[in-house]
Structure 1
Amino acid sequence: MSSHLPEPAVASGESPQRQFVFISDGRLQEAPTVRHLLNFLSPLRAETPCQKVLERFLAQPDLYALPVIDKESRPIGLVDRRSFIEFFSKQYSREIFGRRAIVELDSYDEYESANPLIVEDSCSVEDVAQMIIDAGMQHMVTGFIVVSGGNYLGVANGHDLLNIITQRKQAELHYLAHYDHLTGLPNRMLLADRLERACRDAERKNSLVAVLFIDIDRFKQINDSLGHSVGDAVLRKVVERLKLSARRADTVARLGGDEFVILMESLDDQADVDLVAQRVVEAMRAPIEVFGHSLVATVSVGSSLYPADDTEISPLLAKADAAMYEAKARGRNGFRRYAAGTAMYNPARIALENDLRKAIDGDELVLFFQPQVDLVTQEIRGVEALVRWRHPQRGLVSPIHFIPVAEESGLIVPLGNWVLCAALHQLRQWQMQERLPVRVSINISALQLRQGGFARYLAEQIEAYAIDPCLIELELTESVLMHNVEGVLQTLHEIKALGVSLAIDDFGTGFSSLSYLRRFPIDRLKIDQSFVRDIERTPTNESIARAIVALANSLSLDIVAEGIETPAEKSVLEHMRCSEGQGYLFAKPLPAEEIVNWLGVSRKELLLSY
C-alpha cells in the first residue's frame, strides 16, 4: 500500500487513440475501456483501524485487495491481501498495529507495500495491460483502482482483464477462421455450422432448407489474362450482386476461389429456391466495370433441398455441387436442380476418406515427436506425439488435409485410438532401451473423450504396455470441456486417478473461463502459437501471453508455449517466466529414431547456432 497518490495512468481528459476489433459476425466494435471491467468495492477510509481491515479480509476470502481513499474520495493505496495477512500473522502484530489507522502501516519498514496502479475509467484495456506488463505483473492478482477525474469509482482485477483481452483476440481469430478475408463473407466452416443448425430447425418446424452452389464461368481466364487484382475486384462485384439476389434472411458464403453458396432457410416451397437461383443468373448478365475493363462474368448454379434430396446434412453441398456441374455441362450461364442419379462430382474427398480408413487398419500411419524444452536450461522436458500419413501414392499427407476428413466421417475415434496406442508402444520401447524418460503428450479428440468407457480403455492400454502413467499427458482443447460438463468432469477425474496428467491445448483460443480451470483437474496450459507468433512486436500477443503465464502461476499450473520459431520469441517468453517451449527454433517434429539422435546434441550449442 502507498499513502502517496501516484500519477494516474491516463490523465483526466486525455483522449486515447480509438482502437477497434472484429466481433463474431464480422463487424467492427470499438475496443473496450476499463469501464467494462469496473467492479464497485466499498473502500477503506484512511483512518480505518488495521484490525477492521483484517476482519474484513477474513470474512471475505474472495477479496484479493482493498482500496484506501482519503476524505475527498481520492485513492491513496491498495491493501494486498497476501502481504497484509502475512504481516498480521507475525507475533504481536495485532497488539502493536491493530488499533492504528491503515494509512500508518505503510510507513512501517517491515510491512511489504507497493504503489497501487490507478487509472482513469477512459483508459483502454490494452493500455492497462501494458502498464501491468511494465510493472512486472504484480497487479495481475491484486488488480488496480479505477477513478474518474481522480475520484474513486471502483476496482478491476487482472483475471477479468485477461478474459476481455483474450475475448478480443478470440474475436479476431474467430473472424479469421470463419470469414473470407477478401469478401467478408462467411467461409466454408461457418457455412457448415449454419447449414447444420438450419437443417435441425427445419426438422422441428417441418420446413425446407435449400443450398445454391454458384460457380463463376471461365473465371480462370479472367485471372490469367487480366491478373489477380482484376479477378479479386470481379469477385467483390459478384458478391454485391449475390447479396442483392438473395433474400435478407439468406446466408451468402464463399467456399474459396470462385465458388459461392447461398443457404436458404425456413422454406415452404421449392419455387422460392428457383426464383432466387434465376435472379442470381440474371443479375450476372450485366457487364462488370473494373479498372477500365468491361467484363461479363456469368455463373452456373445448382441446388439441393433438405430433406427432399437428402436427410443427411453432409451430402447436401456435394449434391448442389453436382447439380451445378450439370448446369455447366448444359452450356453454363444457367441453373439446375439436383436430380436422383446425378453423378457426384467430388470423388477426391471420398477417395481420401476410403484411403484413410485403410491407412488406420494398415501400415501407413506413423508418429512424429516434437520436443518440449526448458526455456532456461534447454533440457528436454517432454515430447508431443503427432500423427503423419505416408500415403503410397500421395506421399506424406499433411494433417491439415486428413484430420478434417477424419472428424467429418467419424474416423477421428479409431485414428485417435491408433495414435494413443502407438505413442504408448513407442514410450515402452524407449523405456526398455532406457532412453528418453520424459513425458509424452497425446492429443485426444472430443469424440474420443465422449466415448463411453474412455478412462477404462486408457487404463487397459497403460497396463498392456506396462507404462508408468506419470509419463503420459493427454492434451484436450478448451471446447471439449464445455459440452456435457458433468460427464467430462467425471471422465477427467477417472483419468487423473490413473496418474495421467492433463493439459489444455491452444489455450486462449476457446472459452478461457477461470471457472473451468478451477473446477477441472488440469495440470498444464499450452499457449497457442497464434499468441507466440511475432510476440516481440505484437503488444496484444505479449499481453495475452503474460496474462496466461501469470494466471497459470496463480493456479499452480505448468505452462508451455507452442510455435516458437525465433530467438526473439523465445527471449520474450523466457523473460516473462514461461517455463517451457515447443517449436521449430528447437526442432521440427521428428520420427522416433531421430528424436533419440537429437538428444545427443547439446541444447545450448543448438541455440547458439541461431
Structure 2
Amino acid sequence: MSINVLLIEDNPGDARLVQEMLRDPGAVACSLVHVSQLGDGLDLLERECFDVLLLDLSLPDARGIESLEAVQHAAPSLPVVILSGQKDDEVALKAVQSGAQDYLVKGQGDTRMLLRAMRHAIERKHSEQRLSYLAQYDVLTGLPNRVLLEDRLTKALDQARRKGEVLALLYLDLDNFKDINDSLGHDAGDGLLQSVAERLGQCVRGQDTVARLAGDEFVILLTGLTEPAAAAHVAQKALDALSAGHSIAGRDVTATASVGIASYPESGEDADSLRRNADIALYRAKGRGGGVFQFYNPDTNAAAGERRMMIEKMRRAWEQNEFVLFYQPQLDLRRGRVTGMEALLRWRHPDHGVLPAARFIDLMEETGLILPVGEWVLQMACGHALGWQASGAGPVRVSVNLSDRQFRRKDLVWMVARVLVETGLEPACLHLEVSESVLVGDRTHAMGTLDTLRRMGVRASVDNFGSGVCALGGLRELPVEALNLDRSFAHNLSEEPAEAEIASALVALGHGLQLKVLAEGVESERELGLLRDSGCDLVQGNLISEPVPADACAQWLRGLEQRSLVFLAADN
C-alpha cells in the first residue's frame, strides 16, 4: 500500500535528496508531494489527506517550533517527522515534546532510516490516538466518558455565562439493569447498553453530548437552551426511545430509565453543583418508581441526603456485622405444633435499636447489597436450624425469604446446594419463600429454578400471595408447595366481614391446587379462629410469638412442651 507523504522543505537540494531516497528500489511505494513554504503546505492539508509529514523547521514563512504548532493546528492527527539541518538535542527534545513523532538530521541517514522513521511515526501517532481515545471515550459504547464530559461541561458553562444561555445536565440511569444483567447474562447486558447509547444519540442535536459514566449511568449535556423546560422535551424523548423493545441476543428486552435534570443557572452555577443536583434529582425520579424524569428541586435535597446517608450507614452496618437474624414460629393448625421458623433480617442500629427489614430492604435490593447479605442469611439460617436439631429441639424447618434479585441469580441453585453441604442441613429442612413478582418476569427461569430446587429436596412457597401481581392461572404449573397469604388479609379479617369470605376463597384455591396455605401477620384470637374455620393450614404472627432472637430459639423450641399452644389449634 502506497504511503502519501507531504514534504515541506525550502532547500531544493534537500528536497531532491528526499525524493531520490523514496524512489530507491528498496523503498516501499510512496506518493510524494513537495512544497517549499509552510503556507502552501497548510493549504494542501485543508484539501488533501496525507499519511505522514516531513517538515523542515527553517522555512521562509515560519521558523522553529511555530511551524510544527501550525501544522498540528491544521491537521492534529497527522504524524510528523522533523528534518533539521543541524544536530541540536535541545531542539529535538522540544520538537518531540511539542508533538513530533521523530527528529532526523539531514545528510546523516539513508533510505532505510528515513522509511523506518516514517513508519514508526505513523505507528506512534496511531498509538497516541488510540490512547487518547481510550482516555476520553467509553470502549463499549463509543460515547464520551467522564473525562471528556468534564471538559465539555466546563467549556459549555463558559459559553453559557458569556452568552447568557441556559444549559442542562441530565443524569439517566436504567431501571433494574442489574436484574436484566443477572437474568440474561453480561453479553446481553453489554448489548443493551450499546442499544441505549445509540438511541440516546438519536434524541439530541449535534451540539449536545451523550456520555457514559459507568455501568448503566448515562449523562446528556444540552447546550444553547433558552429555558430549562426544553430539557424536559429531550428527557421524555429519551424515555420513550428507551422504553421501546430492544432486540438483544434474539430476545426482545424492554428497558426503562429514570432521569434527573439540573439546569444552569437555575439549579447551579458551577459544574460541581450541577452534577450533585442532577444526581439528587435522579434519585428522586427513581424514588417515584422509575420511568420518569425529575427536575432538581431544593426541597428534595434534604430527603435525598437522608437517603444517601441511609445507604452509607447500611453498607457500614454490613461491614461491621450489625445485621442479625430473628425467627418467628409457624404453627400447624391441625396438629397444634410449630413446624417451621421463618428467618427475619434485623439491623441492630447503634442509635435506633433493632430495625425491621421493612426499613431498609428496598435500599438493600436497589443497591445490590441484598446479594451478599442474602447469602449470609441463608448460611446462618441453615446453621441455626442444624443447631436446633443438635440441641434436641427437633427437625424444625427453617424458612428463608429470597428477594427478586436473589432469585434471578444465575448461580442461585449452586449457591443453595453449597450452603447445604457446608452446613450439613438436610434439604428437606430448608424452605424458600419467593415473592409473586418473580413469577411475572422470566417464567421459564422461575419454573426451571424452582423445579431444580424441588428435585434437590428443597421446598418453596409463594410469599405475600394476594398482593395483586401473580396470575392465578400460572399457579398450577409452579413447583411450589404452599401459598403464604399476605399479612393484610389477617389484619382485615377482624374489621371487614367480607374479608373472611375472600380468605376462605383463597384457602380453597390453594387446596384446589394441592397447595398448603399459610397466613402471615396473625395478631388476635379472632383472626386465628376465622382462619381456622376457613381451613387454613398454617399461621404465623405475634399471637403465636413475636420474633425470637437467634440465640434464644433453641430454648424457645425446647420449651414448647411446657407452653400451651394446643388451644390455638384445631377444635378438640
Per the normalisation by structure 1, the TM-score is 0.46
Which protein is richer in helix relative to its size?
2
| Structure with larger Rg | 2
Per the normalisation by structure 2, the TM-score is 0.49
1 or 2 for the larger relative contact order (CA 8 Å, sep ≥6)?
A: 1
